[in-house]
Amino acid sequence: MKYTFPKEFWWGSSASGPQTEGRVEGDGKGENIWDYWFELEPEKFFNQVGPNKTSRVYEKFREDIQLMKQIGHNSFRTSIQWSRLIPEGTGAVNQAAVDFYNQYIDELIANDIEPFLNLYHFDMPLPLQEKGGWTNRETVDAYVAYAKTCFELFGDRVKKWFTHNEPIVPVEGGYLYQFHYPKHVIMEEAVMVGYHENLASAKAIKAYRELGLDGEIGIILNLTPSYPRDENNPDDVKAAEIADVFFNRSFLDPAVKGEFPVELVAVVKELDIAPEVQAGDLEIIKNNTVDLLGINYYQPRRIKAKETPIDPSHGPMPDDYFDYYDLPGKKINPYRGWEIYEKGIYDILTNTRENYGNIRCFISENGMGVEGEERYINQDGQIEDDYRIEFVSDHLKYVHQAIQEGTNCLGYHMWTCMDNWSWTNAYKNRYGFISVDITNEGKRTIKKSGHWFKTVADNHGFTE
């Protein structure tokens, strides 16, 4: 069967500034929470590899863009590092960063690769975190000033902007489940962080539109569908719905519909942890919804009614309302421990069509992390990652089906272009179309999947 995609479809990949750029002497970058946490607890990072040793894009972006071209990219998403551009989070702009991002953007455009730029990818500048980060309302104003600076510097050429990547992750990681700094377990703070991120996004969108630039602006959300253990059990269904409210709709509804889910508002009021809402906030959120939705999908969430006792030791938590369910016989990526469920991508896209006005959207991340890929190097030095080709093509079949049914899906970006540093996991699992040898000057080699992806982009699809 032939799976044909629209001629203008966006083929490419995604990355982020903090995961790729690295540090170079004299680059003027300020400290962010990842730099600080690595200095504080290097043992928490796989093989003690920190954000100073990422894939060196700051030095190698020209070479990288040639490789992107070789693997069929017509678009590429990365992020500006707030702490690189404005080292203190507020105040003076770092001219070395302006020069770098200008060269990066111009080089992409010169090679017919459209830059998609995201403004925030988990990298809070340390001076702002020391004042509370996203728990502090002042951070919203600092972020909007940073966003406006980016629009004014680069908005003449960059036509696709995104306010946040996966804004639920700083909520979960930093303030509920301790996998991001500052590793708090305080749901009241988590709610405040989520509220301020939503408000910051809407205010940045407003600032963008007031500048009269001719691009579009959106947000990137990791939408993880919540499936009940038993669709005929009302308690399981209700548990899955509340999980969806916490982790998906908390950002999806304000971004697209301009309002918070009533179920979420009810929970935070009942727990007496509602954030401070100032006059005009809800109007700003209502009137500044996104033009474009990026969707990151890796795995489903399996949910059942709450059966385990609630642990009161840390105060309320989202999982007081549901339990996770381990689906027997599920397909799994053993390296990441994540379920592989390709139909999830179709279910998300169908949901955007049926419940969110068929908003213009694209798959902005989808990928498979594998440990020890050097096992698959052939005699020519290339990694034969057939498992990645299978993973991407199986997901693309469901993207194709959603488009055939009328979903307004405009592209597919895999995570990631070249193997990059992944937070505390560092280089444990590799995700790229291109391998990076961090022991050998960051040497790049296109994997089998990269060459395959070029044929897909050139042919507007693939045959099976």
- How far is it, in rounded angstroms, from Cα 320 to Cα 312? 9
Burial of 355 (0-12, 13-18, 19+ CB in 10 A): middle
Domain containing residue 409: 2-463
CA-based nearest residue to 116, from 83, 66, 163, 159 = 159
Helix (H) or strand (E) holding 212: none
pLDDT at 307: 98
pLDDT at 159: 98
- E strand segments, 109-266: 114-118, 160-165, 216-222, 226-228
**Prior bond to 318 cis, omega within 30?**
no
Query: Mind listing the pLDDT tens digit for each residue in 315-366?
Result: 999 999 999 999 999 999 999 899 999 999 999 999 999 999 999 999 999 9
pLDDT at 438: 87
DSSP 8-state code for residue 457? H
Query: Which residues are marked as active site?
Result: 365
Q: What is the mean pLDDT of the chain?
A: 97
- How far is it, in rounded angstroms, from Cα 352 to Cα 301? 18
Helix, strand or coil, per DSSP, at residue 324: strand
Query: Mind listing the pLDDT tens digit for each residue in 239-291?
Result: 999 999 999 999 999 999 999 999 999 999 999 999 999 999 999 999 999 99
First to last CA, the chain: 5
Please check whether residue 5 is in contact with residue 66, taking contact to mean a CB–CB distance below 8 angstroms.
no
- How far is it, in rounded angstroms, from Cα 217 to Cα 201? 10
CATH at 355 = 3.20.20.80
- How far is it, in rounded angstroms, from Cα 52 to Cα 374? 23
- E strand segments, 127-284: 160-165, 216-222, 226-228
Q: What is the pTM of this model?
A: 0.98
**Torsion angle in degrees (nearest 10) through CA of 381, 387, 389, 393:** 180
What is the count of structural domains for the chain?
A: 1
